[in-house]
Amino acid sequence: MKHKNHRAAYNKILAKQSANSFFDELHRPLNKSTGFKEADQCLYCYDAPCIQACPTSIDIPTFIHQIKTANVMGAAHTILKENIMGGTCARACPTEVLCEQACVLNDDAGKPVKIGLLQRFAVDHLMAKDASHPFKRAAQTGRTIAVIGAGPAGLSFAHRTAVLGHDIHIYESRDKAGGLNEYGLAAYKMVDDFAAKEVEFILDIGGIDIFYGTSLEQDLSLNDLQEKYDAIFIGIGLGGTNDLGLDGEAMSGITDAIDFIEDLRQTDDLSSLELGQNIIVIGGGNTAIDAAVQAKKLGSPNVALVYRRGESQMGATAFEVELARKNGIAVHLWSKPITLHGKNSIAAITFEHTTIKNGKLTGTGEAYILDCDMLLKAIGQKLDGTNLQGLATKDGKLVISENYQTSNKKIFAGGDCVLSGEDLTVQAVEDGKQAAIAMDIWLRDN
Ligand code: SF4
């Protein structure tokens, strides 16, 4: 009864609020005074390790120096020419394990330059100005390229190929562009509809048309697209999610964490969302943390995060795990779900402790039960049943060459759907950029 009253009271606060208006931003942006002061910390290192640590190789010391000398528009240009989604990456990148971890000021137990916040300071400054797009298109080549998916990889690819003078048709299955930036990142990282504003900014280059509501799975065929276009880029991300493989997984109250975040990001009325009193999130990546923290902020009294290995093996950074703990989330490590309890709805979960034996993760035989009326699965994603018409895959992802070509030379791919390294927005942006450069070279000979 106590929980019901609490929920009813909280729903009044949530009513008619969207995630855009409800969540406070995780990191407060720098202002003019703090921005210039922070830029002053940078040593402008020769052979700067922060550049090596950035997947998009942004010239970090140069853009910080430009801020320091009050050339903030120039700083934004330096960032965006390497990473057209510099605004999102400044908000959502795990800088604590990328550029800021590499910053030399960490030596001597100091604090790194706040590179992410400075990047945001510069890019937001440019986007707030009612100026023309910062890049110009080369003379039109007469070539038209199809892009499947308007997520970070597809948009980054499209922007770079548009700059190089090609025309782009993007086919997007949903009714908005932005991919995970729009649908899958925690709302407290992407307030004020930033993902949509960034898409608008990217499209401002010209030469890019987006056709919404068309998917490779249902409406398009790669064979038809090959007839119609000079080349194709696939940036479809990972639409499917992994299952636990346990009996009862179809019970109500069990859902994918990524769907929970999507509903939350897209609703205009947070009080309409289903929210459990005992929520368990299974997984150890950033999606698990994003879902758990938002569930707690939305008013669920008990939120637990359960991961099958230890903290150092989690995909989420130490900062993210700490964020979860600070928000009152119980973090259970070395535990795997073995039984889902409930008739029609999930009611509890039995977990077994785990350990590493002979190099393999294995159950110890010790078990414990946690009450649960809502289970959010965040145990990784996979390619969905998309019609890839024979393109080579490995471990459930597309195989590409070092030139981003799939097993069909006319079809390039990048982002989460390909077999490569990190599944980070910044890596998808880099993939899109590099694939565009590689395709441009290939098109000149074909
Ligand atoms: S490593 Fe740190 S101090 Fe050196 S250039 Fe990069 S941000 Fe500046």
* Model confidence pLDDT, tens digit, residues 92-103: 999 999 999 999
- Is pLDDT above 90 for 388? no
The atom number, within ligand 1, closest to the CA of 102 reads 1
Query: Quick one: average pLDDT of 177-196?
Result: 91
Indicate the pLDDT class of residue 28, thresholds 50, 70 and 90.
Answer: confident
Which tokens go with 132? 């023309």
Mutational pocket test of ligand 1: of 79, 105, 106, 107, the residue with most ligand atoms within 8 Å of the beta carbon = 105
Vertex 238 angle, CA 422 and 380, to 5°: 65
67 CB within 6 A, ligand 1: no
Question: Which residue's alpha carbon is nearest to atom 1 within ligand 1?
Answer: 103
Query: Quick one: average pLDDT of 405-414?
Result: 96
Q: Can you say how many angstroms the Cα of residue 296 is from the centroid of all Cα atoms in its chain?
A: 20
Cα 105 to averaged position of ligand 1 atoms, centre (Å):
7
What is the pLDDT of the chain when averaged over all its residues? 92
Question: Which residue's alpha carbon is nearest to atom 4 within ligand 1?
Answer: 45
Query: Quick one: average pLDDT of 20-41?
Result: 86
45-63 pLDDT, tens digit each: 999 999 999 999 999 999 9
Which tokens go with 334? 């070395």
Indicate the pLDDT class of residue 278, thresholds 50, 70 and 90.
Answer: very high
Query: Would you state the pLDDT for residue 192?
Result: 85
Query: Would you state the pLDDT for residue 1?
Result: 45
Query: Would you state the pLDDT for residue 366?
Result: 97
For 28-128, give the CATH class.
Answer: mainly alpha
Domain extents in the chain: 28-128, 144-239+383-445, 241-380
Mutational pocket test of ligand 1: of 46, 62, 64, the residue with most ligand atoms within 8 Å of the beta carbon = 64
Q: Can you say how many angstroms the Cα of residue 17 is from the centroid of all Cα atoms in its chain?
A: 23
Query: Would you state the pLDDT for residue 136?
Result: 95
Query: Would you state the pLDDT for residue 7?
Result: 64
The atom number, within ligand 1, closest to the CA of 44 reads 5
Read off the pTM: 0.92
Cα 118 to averaged position of ligand 1 atoms, centre (Å):
12
Question: Which residue's alpha carbon is nearest to atom 8 within ligand 1?
Answer: 42
Question: Which residue's alpha carbon is nearest to atom 2 within ligand 1?
Answer: 103
3-state helix, strand, coil in the chain (%, to 5): 40, 20, 40
147 or 220: whose pLDDT is higher?
Answer: 147
- Is pLDDT above 60 for 217? yes
Which tokens go with 428? 């998808």
Mutational pocket test of ligand 1: of 113, 115, 119, 121, the residue with most ligand atoms within 8 Å of the beta carbon = 113
- Is pLDDT above 80 for 3? no
Query: Quick one: average pLDDT of 412-427?
Result: 87
Assess whether the region 28-128 and the region 144-239+383-445 belong to the same CATH fold: no
Q: How far apart are CA 431 and CA 414, in angstroms?
A: 5
**Assign residue 206 a region: left if phi > 0, alpha if psi is -120 to 50, beta otherwise?**
left
54 CB within 6 A, ligand 1: no
Burial of 312 (0-12, 13-18, 19+ CB in 10 A): exposed
Query: Would you state the pLDDT for residue 11?
Result: 72
Query: Quick one: average pLDDT of 19-31?
Result: 79
- Is pLDDT above 50 for 4? yes
Indicate the pLDDT class of residue 380, thresholds 50, 70 and 90.
Answer: confident
Query: Quick one: average pLDDT of 386-396?
Result: 85
The atom number, within ligand 1, closest to the CA of 43 reads 3
Among 352, 353, 296, which residue's Cα sits nearest to residue 328?
296
The atom number, within ligand 1, closest to the CA of 104 reads 1
Query: Would you state the pLDDT for residue 117?
Result: 97
49 CB within 6 A, ligand 1: yes
352-376 pLDDT, tens digit each: 999 999 999 999 999 999 999 999 9
Does the 241-380 domain belong in CATH 3.50.50.60? yes
Query: Would you state the pLDDT for residue 6?
Result: 59
Mutational pocket test of ligand 1: of 67, 68, 104, the residue with most ligand atoms within 8 Å of the beta carbon = 104
- Is pLDDT above 60 for 162? yes
Cα 104 to averaged position of ligand 1 atoms, centre (Å):
6
Cα 297 to averaged position of ligand 1 atoms, centre (Å):
35
423 or 48: whose pLDDT is higher?
Answer: 48
Contact residues for 440 (Cβ-Cβ < 8 A; gap 6+)? 161, 164, 166
Pairing assessment for the beta strands 330-332 and 302-306 based on DSSP bridges: parallel
Pairing assessment for the beta strands 278-282 and 374-377 based on DSSP bridges: parallel
Query: Quick one: average pLDDT of 408-424?
Result: 88
Cα 97 to averaged position of ligand 1 atoms, centre (Å):
14
308-358 pLDDT, tens digit each: 999 999 999 999 999 999 999 999 999 999 999 999 999 999 999 999 999
**Homologous superfamily assigned to 144-239+383-445:** FAD/NAD(P)-binding domain (3.50.50.60)
Count the neighbouring beta carbons within 10 Å of the beta carbon of residue 56.
Answer: 22
Query: Quick one: average pLDDT of 244-250?
Result: 96
CA distances from 8 to 134, 212, 220, 301, 327 (A): 49, 38, 46, 13, 21
Mutational pocket test of ligand 1: of 42, 95, 101, the residue with most ligand atoms within 8 Å of the beta carbon = 42
